Amino acid sequence: MVSISLCMIVKNEEAILRRCLDSVADLMDEIIIVDTGSVDGTKAIAAEYTDKIYDFAWVDDFSAARNFAFSKASMDYIYSADADEVLNQENRERFRVLKESLIPEIEIVQMKYGNQMHLGTVYNFDEEYRPKLFKRLREFRWIEPIHETIQTDPVVYDSDIVITHMPTSAHGSRDLCAFRKQIDAGMGLSRRLREMYARELLMVGEREDLLAAENYFAQLCCEEGISVEESKECYSVLTRIAMEKEDAAMLMKYALKAVLTESCSEVCLELGHFYERAQDLEEASIWYYNAAFETVPVLVKAAGDEQALEGLIHIYEQMGLTEQAESYRQELLGRREA
């Protein structure tokens, strides 16, 4: 049976830390808690479960804190958990079975992260796989009978364990502030973080967040070599900003750029909102239809599903076309059940 180190970074988690640890502590062989500046009873609660509690000065970098926590681990595998996660009894048993049967060739175990859309978090699916259990030391192996090479891709196993995410508040404003700090410091964003920044702006961004992001995305979409996918992400954000500013010229500028490349549901949805606001209901219905049926989302799944179909329903109800409104209501129900 493998041994497992639990590694957590925490700050002011006294309200939920015990709930998390009670659900996993007896499955672990070592518990490591890294505190990034708590001023409540977090560290006292952690001390009920482990004496391996470390302070880490916060440097606006979650990866730095997690790497520090991982550096303190000594077991075969590392389980990375957040304080707002819980394993219920069924999944505790699945975890126990996994621990007893895990073969050393597996380097990463993915687990399903559930309840993701609680409190309006920035995910398109309520349940999806995330890497959660990591082999601490990697053993490099030669592969292929001829032209042999070192296996560089990790061996990943998708388990049936479901972790329940139970946040007490949304983290959107915190994340958007962190994105802005990194940009303002001239550090730039990776391709992955640019996508996450755009998605969070569309899903949880407030007016001030959107306006603060305008220059960044306006410059990004003009960069040489930017991909079609990245362009669509930029146009999605910029058309939302244009709607927030009630700037029709800006909206048309970026919507037309999107259409000339390869449009997406998010841009079509904003055009639907624009024409609905202008009381041009027929034109609004065309763009809501395009969002739902003729394009696909690049960032926010709901833009091509619920939001677009709800727009169609509302438009046809305003037009007094109840039969069409009902047909889209049934389409919406069908997609929700799928």
Rounded to an integer, the average pLDDT of 228-238 is 96
CB 83 within 8 A of CB 22: no
pLDDT digits (tens, 9 = 90+) for 48-99: 999 999 999 998 889 999 999 999 999 999 999 999 999 999 999 999 999 9
Annotated domain spans of the chain = 4-165, 172-337
CB 310 within 8 A of CB 332: yes
The DSSP bridge partners found for residue 130 are: 111
In angstroms, rounded to a whole number, what is the distance separating the alpha carbons of residues 206 and 248?
20
Model pLDDT, residue 117: 56
Which CATH entry fits the domain spanning 172-337: 3.20.20.70, 2.60.120.10, 3.40.50.300, 1.25.40.10? 1.25.40.10
Going by pLDDT thresholds of 50, 70 and 90, the confidence category of residue 141 is: confident
Residue 307: burial class (beta carbons within 10 Å; 0-12, 13-18, 19+): buried
Instruction: Determine the 3-state secondary structure of 15 from DSSP.
Output: coil
In angstroms, rounded to a whole number, what is the distance separating the alpha carbons of residues 239 and 101?
51
Which CATH entry fits the domain spanning 4-165: 3.40.50.620, 1.10.10.60, 3.90.550.10, 3.80.30.20? 3.90.550.10
- Main-chain phi, psi angles of 256, to 5 degrees: -70, -40
Strand 4-10 with 77-80, pairing: parallel
Quickly count: other Cβ atoms within 10 Å of residue 120's Cβ. Answer: 11
In angstroms, rounded to a whole number, what is the distance separating the alpha carbons of residues 232 and 241?
14
pLDDT digits (tens, 9 = 90+) for 240-270: 999 999 999 999 999 999 999 889 999 999 9
Model pLDDT, residue 2: 97
Residue 126 pLDDT exceeds 70: no
In angstroms, rounded to a whole number, what is the distance separating the alpha carbons of residues 104 and 2?
8
In angstroms, rounded to a whole number, what is the distance separating the alpha carbons of residues 266 and 70?
39
Tally the C-alpha atoms within 13 A of residue 205's C-alpha that lie toward its C-beta: 26
Model pLDDT, residue 128: 86
In sequence order, which ranges of the chain are alpha helices (DSSP H)? 17-24, 42-46, 62-71, 89-101, 172-184, 191-204, 207-220, 228-245, 248-261, 265-277, 281-289, 306-318, 322-337
Instruction: Give the residue from 57, 56, 83, 60 showing the smallest Cα distance to 70.
Output: 56
User: What is the average pLDDT score of the chain?
Assistant: 92
